[in-house]
Structure formats: structure tokens, C-alpha cells
């Protein structure tokens, strides 16, 4: 008996169409989970995302978007918590999801910015802020970024130029936060940072002009010890600004001048008074 002729197998679905369908299904699962998050039920949102990961796989086309959603839910769940241990667990889970998403899509500016934001939220020391800056710089080094739409929870996705600006602004915020940490460690307060600003500091971070004192009210005289401590805080903050600016801003490094000596003009009136105090 001869072999029966069998119908040829149908052509498989084109890879691009299959990928599009997979991403659409993943986005639908993410939207459903985020809806529960907006209703104040992050536990339900996380369960839905875990089920979606089991259904779509951990290395599928839509995995970065699922991981992005997981990181978002964990971050939002940590915000209202008063228990430091529980908040830290959510931050760790959010960062783990973001790191895995970046590993799957290393050329995504969207995921680089998201990862850096989570690092900034969880930062508590200078080394943490250095990690924020390092991730932002990694994102800025991406010359040909991938399409941000498949990795963005809300459409339309921001363009590459906007994401690069967001990364630069986050570097500024991390620099200021790091300096503030140093100032507080030296016994100062954030108001000591008003005498300088970073080269590209955004407008909302610029210090407001000091209000004029009414006539008849004299400025309180500071003791020599208070003035000495304030000068030490300012000098330490200025040195930290130079350490952050020179490696990350070639233009600043090329045009920077040598440190001012005591005979040169001081950058501000408070520094002038400090130099006079030291001479005396």
C-alpha cells in the first residue's frame, strides 16, 4: 500500500506577528494589575503579575514590560509603609525586577531611567547615590536605543531625547542629595547649600532670593565657633561638587580654574568672612 498523501503543515505564524500578539497580551495583563494598584490593592496586583510571568515565561518578548510593572507595584506598595523592614523588602523586590528587565533589554532608555529612579528612591547614603549616577550614565552611553514603547506602561511613550533629559536631571538630583548627606554628616543643614548651584541645575531646584529684613531689625551676630563650622561645611560641599562635576562634565573640567588661594577673590561673602577669621 502506498503512503497516503498528507496535507502539508500550515505555515507558522510570522515571528513579528507572534511577538506583537504576545506583547499585546502582556500589556493587557499589566493594565489589569495596575488597575488593582490604583484601587489600593497592591497584593492583588502582584498576584496577577506573578500569574502573568508564569503564563508568558520569564524570558519572553514581553518579560521586560512585566518586570517593569512588578517593579512599579512594589515601589508603590512600599511608599505608605511605616515598617522599615517591610518597606525594604518591597524596595529590594522592585530593584530586582528592574535589574532583570535591564538585563533583558540593555539598550532600553526607558528601563535605564526606571532602574535609576528606583535606585534613587531606595538610596540612603553617598554610595547609593553613586549607583544612581552610574546607571544614569550607562543609559546616556546608549547610542542606538531600542523603541521605548514595548517597555513603557503608559502610551504614548516618551522619546529618546526626553528620556536622556530625564537621566541628566536625575544625575543632578542625586548629586544634590549626596551633597546634602555630606553636609548633614558634618553637622550642617540643607540651608548651607544655598550659596552654590550646579552648572545645569533645573529651575525648580534654584534657591529662592532671601527676603529683605525690615528696618530696625539687625542681623544676629554669629560666634566664631559657628562661623568656623559653617565655613567647614561650605568648603566640604564645594569640594564634593567639584568631584562630581569634573568627571561627568568635560566642559566644566576643561574650563575649570585652579583652587582659589587666600589672596584671590573668594566666591562668596560668607567665604570672605571665613578667610578673615582664619587670618585673625
Show me where the domains of the chain are located. Answer: 22-185, 190-206+222-279
148 versus 255: the higher-pLDDT residue is 148
Distance between CA atoms of 55 and 18, rounded to whole angstroms? 15
Residue 136: all three cell numbers together: 544614569
Backbone angles phi, psi at 244, to 5 degrees: -80, -35
CA 170 to chain centre: 5
pLDDT digits (tens, 9 = 90+) for 236-245: 667 766 665 5
pTM of the complete model: 0.63
Are the C-beta atoms of residues 92 and 178 closer than 8 Å to each other? no
What is the pLDDT at residue 23?
Answer: 82
Percent of all residues in the chain with a pLDDT value above 70, rounded to a whole number: 58
Mean pLDDT across 104-128: 94
What is the C-alpha to C-alpha distance for residues 201 and 249, in angstroms, rounded to an integer?
Answer: 13
**Highest mean pLDDT of the ranges 111-115, 186-190, 205-209:** 111-115
Rounded to 5°, the CA angle 230-235-237 comes to 95
What's residue 61's pLDDT? 63
Long-range contacts, stretch 206-209, CB < 8 angstroms, 24+ apart: none
Which of 1.25.40.10, 2.40.40.20, 2.40.50.100, 2.40.33.20 would CATH assign to domain 22-185? 1.25.40.10
Query: Measuring CA to CA, how many Å separate 192 from each of 10, 25, 123, 151, 179?
Result: 72, 52, 22, 40, 10
Amino acid at each position: 500500500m502506498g503512503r497516503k498523501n498528507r496535507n502539508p503543515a500550515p505555515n507558522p505564524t510570522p515571528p513579528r506577528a507572534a511577538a506583537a500578539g504576545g506583547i499585546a497580551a502582556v500589556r493587557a495583563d499589566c493594565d489589569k494589575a495596575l488597575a488593582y494598584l490604583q484601587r489600593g490593592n497592591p497584593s492583588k496586583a502582584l498576584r496577577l503579575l506573578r500569574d502573568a510571568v508564569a503564563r508568558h515565561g520569564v524570558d519572553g518578548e514581553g518579560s521586560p514590560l512585566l518586570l517593569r510593572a512588578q517593579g512599579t507595584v512594589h515601589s508603590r506598595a512600599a511608599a505608605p509603609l511605616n515598617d522599615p523592614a517591610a518597606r525594604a523588602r518591597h524596595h529590594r523586590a522592585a530593584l530586582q525586577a528592574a535589574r532583570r528587565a535591564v538585563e533583558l533589554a540593555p539598550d532600553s532608555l526607558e528601563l535605564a531611567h526606571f532602574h535609576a529612579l528606583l535606585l534613587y528612591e531606595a538610596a540612603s547614603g553617598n554610595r547609593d547615590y553613586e549607583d544612581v549616577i552610574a546607571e544614569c550614565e550607562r543609559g546616556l552611553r546608549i547610542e542606538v536605543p531600542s523603541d521605548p514603547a514595548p517597555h513603557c506602561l503608559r502610551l504614548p511613550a516618551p522619546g529618546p531625547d526626553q528620556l536622556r533629559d530625564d537621566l541628566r536631571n536625575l544625575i543632578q538630583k542625586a548629586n544634590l542629595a549626596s551633597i546634602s548627606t555630606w553636609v548633614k554628616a558634618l553637622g550642617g543643614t540643607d540651608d548651607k547649600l544655598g550659596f552654590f548651584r550646579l552648572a545645569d541645575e533645573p529651575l525648580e531646584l534654584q534657591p529662592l532670593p532671601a527676603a529683605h529684613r525690615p528696618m530696625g531689625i539687625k542681623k544676629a551676630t554669629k560666634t566664631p565657633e559657628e562661623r568656623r563650622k559653617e565655613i567647614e561645611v561650605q568648603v566640604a560641599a564645594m569640594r564634593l561638587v567639584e568631584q562630581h562635576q569634573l568627571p561627568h562634565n568635560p566642559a566644566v573640567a576643561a574650563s575649570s580654574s585652579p583652587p582659589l588661594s587666600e589672596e584671590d577673590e573668594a566666591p562668596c561673602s560668607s567665604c570672605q568672612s571665613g578667610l578673615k577669621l582664619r587670618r585673625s
